Amino acid sequence: MSERVNFHFEIDGENFTSAGEASVRIKKHLRDMGFSPDTIRRVSVAMYEGEINMVIHANGGSADVDVYVDRIEITLADKGPGISNIELAMQEGYSTAPDNIRSLGFGAGMGLPNMKRYTDNMKIESEVGKGTTIYMTVNV
Amino acid sequence: MTVKELASALDCKIACMPDESREITGGYAGDLLSWVMGRASSGDAWVTIMSNINIVAVASLADTACIILSEGVIPDDGVVEKATEVGVNILMSQLDTYALCASIFKLI
Ligand SMILES: Nc1ncnc2c1ncn2[C@@H]1O[C@H](COP(=O)(O)OP(=O)(O)O)[C@@H](O)[C@H]1O
Ligand SMILES: [Mg+2]
């Protein structure tokens, strides 16, 4: 018996102006569903970082948020270049973002570390040349 | 102190204030969005010189009480519309970031 509500988003890799919109929508949904501000913040921050990464580094992808009674699962999947050294990518401050992206305030190299910090569980599956899928769970 | 009260105490210009009675409980300054996302607290007045559209999502998701653009920075096109739509307050100050933060610190 597992009640589940799914929210699915396609993340546009071209559009910097709408980057983060899926996360803002999820925040609203979770608030309507009565989750605590802390849970909502953790889910939406982790998802935002993942969403931005797909826009900056992978030319877009998809995001799925599965809401259960006791947890929220976030799955981010892209067909981008993949991450060759995940351990390195996870380090605070490591970033391959180009200068034009940095000038917008991105590329601090804090995205993946934030995702880890704000969730209870995070798993990265990535293959160079094929893409990246990130699974995150926030326990309620 | 509410955002509206802070705006008047600091003599800020108002870009948009869709949630004027929001209570300010702290402050954070920074221009790197992931730092702000990870470190700012809910209810903070967020001081930045970043003026692009992405600050709206960051403020909304980090649940800050308002954005205050320092150093006379004004928001890019489309930012005010988006912020109004999602309920994010944006103020503007002529003060530099240091002076602005010091003033906020004294007020709250
Ligand atoms: N979805 C992705 N596809 C390919 N590379 C990625 C992806 N997400 C992250 N990376 C790589 O990991 C690095 C660190 O990511 P992150 O911590 O979010 O920092 P930032 O996005 O600020 O560069 C990125 O600079 C990039 O090289
Ligand atoms: Mg990132």
Q: What is the structure's pLDDT at B66?
A: 98
- The partner residue sitting opposite B32, judged by closest CB among A105, A113, A118, is A105
Which atom of ligand 1 approaches the CA of A108 most closely?
Answer: 22
Q: What is the DSSP-derived secondary structure letter of residue B18?
A: T
Asked if residue A2 has pLDDT above 80, the reply is no
Residue B18 near residue B87, CB atoms below 8 Å: yes
What mean pLDDT do residues B75-80 have? 97
Domains of chain B by residue range: 3-107
Q: Which residues contact B99 (CB under 8 A, 6 or more apart)?
A: none
CA distance A85 to chain B (A): 21
Q: Where are the domains positioned within chain A?
A: 4-139
pLDDT beyond 70 at B107 = yes
Q: Which CATH architecture has domain A4-139?
A: 2-Layer Sandwich (3.30)
Spatial CA neighbour of B89 closest among B31, B7, B1, B29: B7
Q: Is A96 in the pocket of ligand 1 (CB under 6 A)?
A: yes
Band (pLDDT 50/70/90 cuts) for residue A121 is very high
Kindly determine whether residue A41 and residue B55, on different chains, have CB atoms separated by under 8 Å: no
When scoring A17, A35, A39 by the number of chain B Cβ atoms within 10 A, the one with the most, hence best to mutate, is A17
Q: B3-107 — its CATH code?
A: 3.40.1390.20
Mean pLDDT of A99-106: 92
Q: A23: closest CA among A61, A5, A49?
A: A49
Does the CA dihedral B5-B86-A73-A111 come out positive or negative? Answer: negative
Give contacts of B58 with chain A, Cβ < 8 Å: 20, 48
Q: Where are the beta strands (DSSP E) in B1-108?
A: 13-16, 26-29, 44-48, 66-69, 90-92
List the Cα angle A20/B80/A21 in 5-degree steps.
15
The yes-or-no verdict on residue A40 having pLDDT over 70 is yes
| Ligand 1 midpoint to CA A57 (Å) | 6
Supply the pTM of this predicted model: 0.92
ipTM score for this prediction: 0.86
